[in-house]
Structure 1
Amino acid sequence: MTDAATNPTTATPPSDADESQVVLVAGAGGVIGRHVADEYLSRGTAVRGLSRRPVAGARWKHLAVDLLDRDAARTGLGSARDTTHLVFGAYIERPTTREQIEVNSALLVNALQGLEDGGAPLRHVTLYQGGKAYGAHLGYFNTPAKERDPRLIQPNFYYEQEDILRAAAARRGFDATMLRPEGVVGYAVGNPMNILMVIAVYASICRELGQPLRFPGTHAAYDALYQVTDASLLARATVWAGSEPRAAGEVYNITNGDQIRWRHLWPIFARHFQMDYAEPQPVLLSEAMPQHQDLWQQMVTKYDLVPTPYEDLAGWSFGDFLFRSGFDNVTSTIKARQHGFADCLDTEDRFLELFEELATARVIPPLA
């Protein structure tokens, strides 16, 4: 371990903690990275969280490193030279496929190179992918999608990153695992790419306006099968992958393990928010919801909510995309179960629990 100036913060180690692990979570400000860092910390593992901005409330040591700058990455990662496990959740959105590939490949290359230059004794890297690996962003794809399905001819930054990681792992002798969640739900301050927050803020505003809760997407999406991945479950899968020998070099779909139809859930959401329910009405959230920013600020004062910038609360365009995806989105989780990760959650129950957690934390108004 390094000296106290660079030693990552740790929780009190439980009896089964692996004290030889030092975990670096890249993208610790996102919903995935934040939950992974907290999960490792709860198990007594030494954790550092890497992001460009500090993460509010984090109990682990924060590294402010710009991974797009090769020199800055090399310098910044010098204080993480004892890293044994890299969890890579950093991501930058870009408008074109080519730009996505270039910028997100650079993030990974600079992170790996920076750790190598510092002499980090890297043993494992976890990389996150998603439904785009199967073409979920393009339209219909064969379901249930399996990890052995062939790649698409369409270029994809997931493919590029995986190839970069596998080549580095073969050269340097560490293991790598790729995890593919879908529709990750959980809360992290300032991370709006999250369908949980889209629904919670949309429902809260509709209730404040005295309107019923309506599904704002298409009828096709209302009836299609969908799935989500709870961020806490994904964090547990990450910890498992980092220490499971069978996970070395493998790709795993990680979801809650069930499928949903929005048709079944939205009336349940309405009852939970103590609202009337009405039939779906397609509305572009990205056009409608920014108009209610002033109302939300009034709600922050009225209900003593956490003062989060409105643009950081919910990704309305992300909601539009999901609520207009009129095809089944289902991936098989059999491989992960066969290899030893059998964790699962009831998605309906978990949504309601998360709504309660958001209200208790005063992120949204009280539900009662």
Structure 2
Amino acid sequence: MKFQYLLAAFFAAVVYAAPSNGGNNGEIVGNHDENDSSSSGECKPLLQSCNDNSDCCSDNCLAGFCLVGYNVKTMGSERLPLRQIGIYHNLPDFDSSLKGLTVIITGANGISGFHTMRALLAAPERWSKIYALSRRPPPEQMMGLLTPEQRSKVQHVACDFLESGDKIAQALKEANVTADYIFFYSYLQPKPPPGGAIWSNADELVKVNSALLSNFLDSLPQAGIKPTRFLLQTGAKNYGVHIGRIRTPSCESDPQPKDLQPNFYYPQEELLFKYCKDNGVGWNIIMPAWIIGATNNAQMNALHPFSVYAAVQAHKGEPLTFGGDWNAWQGLSFHSAARLTGFLSEWAVLEDKCKDQRFNAIDDSPFSWDRFFHELTRWFSVEKGVIPPPEDDSKYQEMTGRAGKETPLGYGPPTKIRASFTLSSWAKEEVNQKAWKELMSQSGGKLTHDPFEDIEANFSCGDAAWTTVMLCVNKARILGWTGFVDTMEAVFEMYSEMEQLGMVPAMKVDKPKPHV
């Protein structure tokens, strides 16, 4: 035993200074050999005898013993320089040996799935193939936001997750799908009952969205697919923000208010945990706030309606009016740029220390309606400016939430949301619908989307966006997450790209004013 310790001390400087040379030359590639003890988890601890690097948990076999050393499989991103990609700053990076990975992204034609795909494509050597699973492929206009090289790495596989697992597995096998990692974003929003709020049909949401995940999970063993990590994205409703008063800021360790109202997040998590336990797969859960990102289906995009509102008011020569009260006007909230959340998700699944953990996801950039509305006037040239909230309380309608034990907080008075008008009611006015038609006509065919064709779907989230969401990201920060984006710049980028998608009229300025 003394000889082993002397040997370890003798070679310590060498193994800390240089990467291991055996196995796959220190590389991690997709689809490891299942017989490789290092990938199966059956590895030897320090100072045990070994034949080559693959025998050792440290990936470092020297002179017949497992020694501490450089190991790209377990060492994280903290030792590498940070990346700067456009408006996205201080992004973690990983060793260049981590390459050739394959990934499944479900719901890749939606706001979160598409922008996670863009985040992964920013590391083309790391991610060799992205299988985009959905009923329909990402629209051509959205794919036009990618470079030809990026598009070449994406393969759409048509799957309907409401079908049985064996049918989904058949589609996966026919497309020769492999996956080192899986990101699940598939979501269906059943139409609420007439006059009901967007998430009022909770039971139907649970039924349909649980089925989506359950059927997909059933398909994976049948298709011979076993990922290293499975990531599920849920959201801030995990904390019951849509029910009533909650703890603020919301932390990942806060209890879930499962007894207050059905929420499809909870049965989805149980399905995920069971699958991962039964199959030896790691998991992550990501919970963003209001999501920012360009897609040609903006029904879940809470800030898209404000671009429509600003463009129409500018066209009519009228000012912007904020519908909330002064508390909402000057209060702070946080949003979640979909691409930054994609970078966070990549970091989470690749970091060994993040295995089996959930994370909140926000830009960590304070957002106020005061500053946002004044930027909207500049972006869309609203010459009449902004009318602040009324000071006369009689101008407001008040919506009162639950109180006391009927809330996630468990005590206290009900939350009250006051509004002098809503975007949905504004959108029903014929003069505004006519103004949008005029903007479409004047655009020369560039503005093609008409959100007024389905007012309830396209404006409801905008009315709900005044709800303050305060998520705490201390957990991710402690574990090494460093990414950042100025939310104002993220919104401007979204509107610019939505102009390319025919969703938003051209803005009148080239760049936003960041919060500096």
Structure 1 equivalent of residue 184 of structure 2: 88
Q: Secondary structure at the match of 2:344?
A: helix
Between 78-87 and 110-119, the greater mean CA deviation after superposition:
78-87
Residue among 138, 149, 160 paired with 1:55:
138
Structure 2 equivalent of residue 197 of structure 1: 304
- Does the CA contact (< 8 Å) of 1:180 and 1:253 recur in 2? yes
Distance in structure 1 (CA, Å) of the matches to 2:297 and 2:491:
20
Say if 2:294 is the partner of 1:187. Answer: yes
- Does the CA contact (< 8 Å) of 1:192 and 1:312 recur in 2? no
Between 80-89 and 274-283, the greater mean CA deviation after superposition:
274-283
Shift of the 238–288 alpha-carbon distance from structure 1 to 2, 3 Å rule, reads same
Deviations 1:81-107 (A, max 9, x none): 412211100111234222211211111
Q: Secondary structure at the match of 2:491?
A: helix
Q: Greater helix share, 1 or 2?
A: 1
Query: What is the deviation of 1:194?
Result: 0.7
Query: What is the deviation of 1:28?
Result: 0.8
- Does the CA contact (< 8 Å) of 1:29 and 1:191 recur in 2? no
Query: What is the deviation of 1:120?
Result: 0.6
Structure 2 equivalent of residue 241 of structure 1: 348
- Does the CA contact (< 8 Å) of 1:190 and 1:308 recur in 2? no
Which structure would you say has the larger RCO, counting Cα contacts within 8 Å and 6 or more residues apart?
Answer: 1
Residue among 333, 336, 340 paired with 2:476:
336
Say if 2:152 is the partner of 1:77. Answer: no
Query: What is the deviation of 1:203?
Result: 1.0
Distance in structure 2 (CA, Å) of the matches to 1:73 and 1:112:
10
Query: What is the deviation of 1:358?
Result: 3.8
- Does the CA contact (< 8 Å) of 2:105 and 2:113 recur in 1? yes
Distance in structure 1 (CA, Å) of the matches to 2:119 and 2:473:
21
Structure 2 equivalent of residue 126 of structure 1: 231
Residue among 277, 288, 292 paired with 2:386:
277
Distance in structure 1 (CA, Å) of the matches to 2:210 and 2:487:
33
Distance in structure 2 (CA, Å) of the matches to 1:129 and 1:114:
21
TM-score (norm 2): 0.64
Query: What is the deviation of 1:359?
Result: 4.2
Structure 1 equivalent of residue 79 of structure 2: none
Structure 2 equivalent of residue 308 of structure 1: 449
Residue among 117, 135, 148 paired with 1:37:
117
The aligned amino acid for 1:83 is A
Say if 2:219 is the partner of 1:114. Answer: yes
- Does the CA contact (< 8 Å) of 1:214 and 1:280 recur in 2? yes
Say if 2:282 is the partner of 1:144. Answer: no
The aligned amino acid for 1:111 is F
Detail structure 1 runs of 4+ shifted over 4 Å in the superposition: 311-314, 359-362
Say if 2:212 is the partner of 1:103. Answer: no
Residue among 424, 433, 439 paired with 1:286:
424
Say if 2:476 is the partner of 1:367. Answer: no
Q: Aligned-residue CA RMSD in angstroms?
A: 2.5
Query: What is the deviation of 1:18?
Result: 3.9
Distance in structure 2 (CA, Å) of the matches to 1:364 and 1:81:
36
Distance in structure 1 (CA, Å) of the matches to 2:366 and 2:378:
21
- Does the CA contact (< 8 Å) of 1:17 and 1:43 recur in 2? no
Query: What is the deviation of 1:306?
Result: 4.1
Q: Sequence identity of aligned pairs in percent?
A: 28
Distance in structure 1 (CA, Å) of the matches to 2:449 and 2:248:
38
Shift of the 80–28 alpha-carbon distance from structure 1 to 2, 3 Å rule, reads farther
Shift of the 332–250 alpha-carbon distance from structure 1 to 2, 3 Å rule, reads same
Shift of the 63–217 alpha-carbon distance from structure 1 to 2, 3 Å rule, reads farther
Say if 2:329 is the partner of 1:230. Answer: no
Query: What is the deviation of 1:65?
Result: 1.0
- Does the CA contact (< 8 Å) of 1:26 and 1:33 recur in 2? yes
The aligned amino acid for 1:196 is L
Between 142-151 and 312-321, the greater mean CA deviation after superposition:
312-321
Deviations 1:56-114 (A, max 9, x none): 23322112211011143232232354122111001112342222112111111111111
Shift of the 191–52 alpha-carbon distance from structure 1 to 2, 3 Å rule, reads farther
Bigger radius of gyration: 2
Q: Secondary structure at the match of 1:23?
A: strand
Distance in structure 2 (CA, Å) of the matches to 1:118 and 1:357:
37
Deviations 1:93-141 (A, max 9, x none): 2342222112111111111111221011311111111111111111221
Between 80-89 and 282-291, the greater mean CA deviation after superposition:
282-291
Distance in structure 2 (CA, Å) of the matches to 1:364 and 1:103:
31
- Does the CA contact (< 8 Å) of 2:116 and 2:343 recur in 1? yes
The aligned amino acid for 2:132 is G
Shift of the 334–172 alpha-carbon distance from structure 1 to 2, 3 Å rule, reads same
Deviations 1:242-270 (A, max 9, x none): 21111111010110013322133212322
The aligned amino acid for 1:341 is W
Structure 2 equivalent of residue 317 of structure 1: 460
Structure 1 equivalent of residue 73 of structure 2: none
